[in-house]
Structure formats: C-alpha cells, structure tokens
Amino acid sequence: MEFRMEVLKFGGSSLVSAEAMQRVRDVLIARRGTQRIVVCSAMGGVTNALIQIGLKAAQGDPGHAKLLDDLIQRHRATLDELGMDANAPVRSELQEKFDRLRSLCSGICLLEELSAKSMDQLVSFGERLAVPMVNAWLDQAGLKTRRVDAREWIATDDQFGAAEVNRKASYQNIQAGVQADDSFEVLITEGFIGRTAAGETTTLGRGGSDYTASLIASAIEAECLEKSTDVPGMLTADPRMVPGAQVIDEMSYEEAMELCHFGAKVIYHPTIAPLRDKGIPLIVRSTFNSEAPGTRIVSQPSKAVTVRGLSSVDGIALLTLEGGSLIGRPGFSSRIFSALAQAGVNVTLITQSSSENSLTVGIAESDLDAGLAALESDLASDITLNRLAPIRVDESLSIVALVGTGMERAIGVSGKAFKALADSRVNIRAIAQGSTERNISIVVNTPDVPEALRALHRSFFDEQPEPCVQVFCAGVGQVGREFIGQWANTKSAMEAQLGCPIKLVGLANSTAFALDSNGLEADLQALHQAEGAQTASNPLEALQAFHALPGNRKIYVDNSAAESVADAGVEALKLGMGYVCSNKIAATRSMEDWRLLQACGPRFKNETNVGAALPILHGLRSMLETGDRIKRIEAVLSGSVNYIFSALDEGVKFSDAVRDAGAKGYTEPDARMDLSGMDVARKVLILARMCGAELTLNEVEVNGFLPAAAFDGSAEGFMAQLDALGERVDAMAAEAKGGGKRLRFVATWSPETGCSCALKALDASHAFYALEGTDNAVSILSDRYADKPLVIQGAGAGGALTASGVLADVYAVARWMLTQDAVQS
C-alpha cells in the first residue's frame, strides 16, 4: 500500500525551545503542499531529566520533586513563549499529564523501586508532552493537523527499555490509521514509544524515535523519510575532533549502517533496515537550514567513492589468546564465542594471526569482567596445562573505522590508512576487515582517537596541498616581531635553497591567534584586526587549529616566556611537529620532560636558550658528540645583567643602569625576571643537562644580589624602590673597583659541585673581566681544552639577535624535514 506522503522526524535538538519550535513551524509552512507525517522526540534534555527524576525518586530522595517542578515549569514557559492563550486546550491537557506524572513519581518514591516497566512509563512522558505542544503550535499557525498516539500504531513485546517491535502488526496499524482520515496536511505522532498486547507502554531504546519514523515510512511506502536535526547531515567525521569534516551528499544504506554501528550518533542504527527493505530514501538535514541538501541515503549512490566516512567507538577492551596449535584447531573459535555468548558478552571485533597462534576479540569495556571470567573458566584446564598462555587484557582502547563500499574495488586503502597513522605517530593495536570490504576497523589507544581521525581525514578527504613547510609563531613581543620581520626578508631566498615553499601560517599572542593556510606574510597585522583573529582560552586550542591544517611538515615556534606555550610546544612534538623555542621553560622542567625533548632529535631546536644567537649549544653539542668530556663550565649568561654591571664600571648608578637597559629593550618588561638570577639559573641548567647531569631547577644554587623581599609585589612597586635597592649594589661595585676588580654575575657547573650562580668580583686576569655591554661568554674546560679553556663570546641580548637564532633553528628543522621526505620516497 503506497501513500504519496513524506515522513519527517524532529529530534530533541529541533524541539529544545520555543524558538526551535518556531523553526519547525516555518519549515512545514514553507514546504506546504505535500502531506507529511511528523514524528517528534521529547524536548531536548527532557528524557535525561526524567531518568534522573526517576532514579532520585527510587532512592526516596525528596529532591526529585524540585527537578520535576523545573521540568514542568520548562514546558509551561515554552507554551508562554509560543503565545498560547491561557485557556488553550493544550494547557489543560498538559496539566492532566503533569498530574499523572507527579502521581507516578510519588509512587516510585513511596515504594523506593523503579522497575523497567515503570521507567518506560516515566520516560514516555517526554514525547507525550512534546507532541500536544507542537500540534497546538502548528494548528495555531494555520496548518490542518491530525494527532495520533503512537502507542496505537507501534505494537511491541514486553521487553521494557528496549522493546522488540512486531513489524507486521505495526504496519497494519499504521496503514489502517492513516487511511482512517487522510484529510490532514500534517499528522503528528510520538517517536520512541509503543504498547504491548496487554496495553502497557514500552520504549524502543534511546534513539528509538528514529526507528518509529522509519517504521511509519516503511509501512506507508513514503516517498522519503527526512530526519531534521542540529547538524547539516551525515559528516565525513565527528566535527568536534575533525574541524574540516564535510557533509556527505549521498551514501548507501549499508554505509550508513556501518557508520552508525561504529559510533556515528546522527542516526539510530536500527532505523536503516526498514527503509532499505522498501528502498525509501532517508534524508538527514539541519532544522536550521532546511533548504540545504543534507545527506541522502539510498540503495545505489550516484557517485562511487573509496571511503565515504570515518567513525569511532570508545570503551573497547581486547582479549588475546595465544598458544601453539590449539587456537587453529576446528571448533576452538566456536568454543570462545559460545563462552562469551553464554555470559551475555557481545564480540565487537575479531582478528586472528595467519600463523593461527593467536586470536584476539574486542568487547565493550563494560563487559570486560564478565567476558574475562567466562573465558578463564572455560579455558582453565588449557591455561593450567600451558596449552594456552594466560589471557592478555588491553584496556582504554577505541575502534576507528573507515567505511565505504568503494574499498571493495580499490587497492592500497589499508596501506594509505596505515601510513597516515604512522606519519601522525598513532600506534595501531589491532586491525580487522570484513569480507564485504565495506569497513576497515583499526584499534588505537583512546587518547589517540582525535589525532587518528584527523590524520585519516587529511589522507582520504582533504584536498592535498602543495608540498610546503608550515610555521606557527606563538609570541609576538620583541623577539616575535623581529622574527616576523627577518622571516619576511629571508623567506624567498630560503625557499630557493629548500626547493619548497615555507609559509608562516599562524601567529598567536596571549589571547588570540590568526591562521591562514595560504600564509600570513602579506598581512602580519592579522592579530590586531578583528577579522581573521580567533580568541583562544589557551595555546593548546591554537595548536590544535594549526595541527588540523592539511599537510604534515609543521613547525611550532615558541617566542614567549609562558609555561602554557611551552606545554603546547611539547604537545606539538608529540603530534609529530617540529618545535623551536627561545622560551627556556620547556628545557628546564622535569628530567622526564628533558628526556622527551632530547628523544625528538632534530625536530627540537633551542639554540637560543643560551646566548641568543651565539653558537654555545651547538659548540657544546659538537664537543660531546665527538667524545670530549666536559670538566667545568663557567659563564656570564645574561646580556641584560652584564650590560647593567658593565655600566657600573663606568660609575653609573645601578638603578639608572637598570632603567637604561629596559629602555633599550635588553631586559624583559618586568626587569625582575632578569635581576632575580632565575633566567641565568635556567641557562646553566640547560648546559649541565647537555653534559649529562640529571639536575632540576630547584637544585641550582642562586645567590642573588638583591634581597628576596624585593621581588614580592608588583613590577611597578619594584621599580619605585629601585633607587633604594641599588644602594647596596652600588657600594659593592665601588668596593670592587677600589680593589681593581669588576662585578660580574657568573654561573658555574662541574660534575663535582653542580650548578650555581653568584655575583663575583673578578680581577683583571679573569677571562670575563673585560666583558662589556650585552656580551655573553662561556668558558668550557674539557679533556681536549685542558690547558686553555674554550671561550665563546659575543652579544647575548636583544630581540634581533635572539630572533635570528630562532629563524636559523626553524630553517634547520625545515631542511631536516625535507631530507626525511627524500629518504622515505
């Protein structure tokens, strides 16, 4: 029996408020002319609220009454916002339902018992409250409506909570119900609910409203079923994890079922089968843009593609059995599946080695205890006799699935997927592919799912950009601005050397970032313009946006002094990017963090952490790599502090020298960062760690030249008392000068004494006596430089110098990346 009708299903997000219901009305009025059956869910959030109310009531918690009052008030307020008259029949109808709902909750609370049957009765009120409101609203808008209680149509068994539908009886009910009066423009009914032969209310499981709509569409052989929701259609991936996810214009029933099975929440997976049986198209589109094409799900899509979409499901555990020839014997697999079935455990994934030495099954983590107990009981004798190894359990896993009927005819899909994951450093724990070749299931660690989806999406869906190196600069202060300027001046020449474009695609300050895959070189003020700038609550948000850009040659540059940006830099390394930093924080945190940085090899560069653009770290690294052993390091490592103390040599007051250094940009905006000695402590710690010392920042002895109390309070307060604070330092300088000496802030390290920093009075024979201005100097005593230490000296402060070192590091990482590409190809 065929009716020239369409079925529309509106979910909770489409009915979440009066404003949303107004959009539903607008959609139906705009598309007037075709008869439609509209299936409604509860208002968004109501089903969850009813479950919570029921659970509280079953515990005897009087707080359930307040939650119920709130829910009732929400529905009344919605009627008010829809402009329903105080005497409108819908208000009295809803009041009757409110009274019955209160009575049911009171009974649950009194008995302190909530059976599956009572829960079904309770949650059914969500749809039963929504439908009268929508019906009254559409009627008020001038549409000719008819309303049917879905329980008169949907016949089920008595498996409360997830009732099985009697499709034959339901189809007969639906066809007879529609024929009884087909003079409507819009027939409205509830989703989700049904009724047993004994007249008891049941529910079809969460998402069951989709299934209701599918059953109705199939029964009347509708022209189509349209699901109106809060997303524009079925997407190629979850947009919360893959910002570039695209709307799928058309797909097959089988592809939709696979995606839904593996976590796509847009459609309740049992919805598909009744439509497939009758060849009825399913259209998924947004309520907020009902004219958009959305996704059309049909028997034969007009366009064949290899991979149609990606999906994922969390909460997976793997049980692995290993043991010689036993696993390969006939009947062994059946024995495993029977044991799990008897324990009520569903197998999600199966994979077996070709040697037949191991068998792995994937199950839901929630079933892990039951599944493991069932197998250990059934296989106890085999494990005891060592015919099988003890069952290995792996938890906190997820399945990432590639779905597409085109995989059946394509070669190299698995290889392409595995390469994409390898390039993004995602470890594959297990794989499986069904004989239909519509699905490749890949098991990964759950924390890796977002990166796995992004990597696969880039490989299969994103337009592949021209090969290039992409750079993101976090920090646009003094060093950052100089870096950008030097970048602009050297970019073309460097591209000619590399034979590859290198683009500055992102900039960030402490509150916002700008990102453009085409490069920001033409508009370096993007951060200061409202258009193009995006706010970010933390640097990791900006990093993730950078990471989401197509391309796998990315370098994250940290020109800040912030701990949170250092966190992002370490995360960038974990994501497979390069990390270049003038910020010393990352390299001076825990030894665990230091080892992680060093393990990244050429992807991590921090040459400017010590001595700005001076080749101090490079020189020290070369000595160590060629077998030299470092005995002692002595160094002046702060250009700003040395500038201040060399000014004292000329009779300038300490306070005036500090102000002058700040005016020339040698100190940080807050001069206390330079004068506390902690900046020098970080630098000497980095030198010591490079020599193999396992030290932390707390173990560096810092003997400051200002009292500790001077660093309390604000930067403004510190500068206000600078004259008084400087008197002691001026006296020390005068005393040193009287003895033919000069004050210098010197850092030292040796394996025997560890790290320390202190103000020292040096005589004319010392290598650092003649240091002037912003010069840094490092004296390295080693096996090879035993008689006369190696001294590296030069200017060590200023934004331009530091930026040049950072830029050199960026170009070094870019060269390495392109070399790696050449090796792999």
Please list the active-site residues. Answer: 683
**Cα 454 to Cα 233, 311, 438, 460, 463, distances in angstroms:** 19, 11, 20, 10, 13
- ∠ Cα 806 811 816 (to 5°): 125
Tokens of 768: 């650092």
Long-range contacts of residues 718-727, Cβ cutoff 8 Å, at least 24 apart: 718/671, 718/672, 719/659, 719/671, 722/654, 722/655, 722/658, 722/659, 723/653, 723/655, 725/654, 725/655, 726/653, 726/654, 726/655, 726/658
Please, are residues 590 and 696 in contact by the beta-carbon 8 Å criterion? yes
Tokens of 393: 């359990």
In this structure, what are the phi and psi dihedrals at residue 440, rounded to the nearest 5 degrees?
-115, 120
Q: Bridge-partner residues for 579, per DSSP?
A: 556, 604
Please, are residues 512 and 477 in contact by the beta-carbon 8 Å criterion? no
* Of the candidates 689, 693, 691, 694, the residue with the CA atom closest to the CA atom of residue 625: 691
Token pair 């800040």: residue: 560
In this structure, what are the phi and psi dihedrals at residue 756, rounded to the nearest 5 degrees?
-155, 160
Q: Which residues contact 324 (CB under 8 A, 6 or more apart)?
A: 357, 387
Tokens of 8: 């529309």
Tokens of 289: 């843009």
Sheet of 5-10: strands edge to edge? 145-148, 186-190, 35-40, 5-10, 224-229, 282-286, 295-298, 250-252
Tokens of 411: 């070669």
Sheet of 392-403: strands edge to edge? 347-352, 358-364, 309-322, 392-403, 439-445, 428-433
Please, are residues 243 and 29 in contact by the beta-carbon 8 Å criterion? no
Complete DSSP assignment for 43-61 = STTHHHHHHHHHHHHHTT-
* Of the candidates 217, 226, 229, the residue with the CA atom closest to the CA atom of residue 275: 217
Token pair 């297990």: residue: 430
Tokens of 524: 């370096």
Determine the angle formed by the axes of helices 654-663 and 639-649, rounding to 10 degrees: 140
In this structure, what are the phi and psi dihedrals at residue 790, rounded to the nearest 5 degrees?
-75, 125
Cα–Cα distance for residue pair 275/215, rounded to 1 Å: 8
Token pair 């555990």: residue: 317
3-state SS class at 182: coil
Amino acid at residue number 662: G
> What's the burial of 383, exposed, middle or buried (CB within 10 Å: 0-12/13-18/19+)?
middle
**Cα 106 to Cα 57, 93, 99, 122, distances in angstroms:** 7, 20, 11, 12
Cα–Cα distance for residue pair 18/302, rounded to 1 Å: 39
* Of the candidates 724, 775, 771, 776, the residue with the CA atom closest to the CA atom of residue 747: 776
**Cα 707 to Cα 171, 675, 682, 703, 712, distances in angstroms:** 87, 11, 20, 10, 10
Please, are residues 289 and 232 in contact by the beta-carbon 8 Å criterion? yes
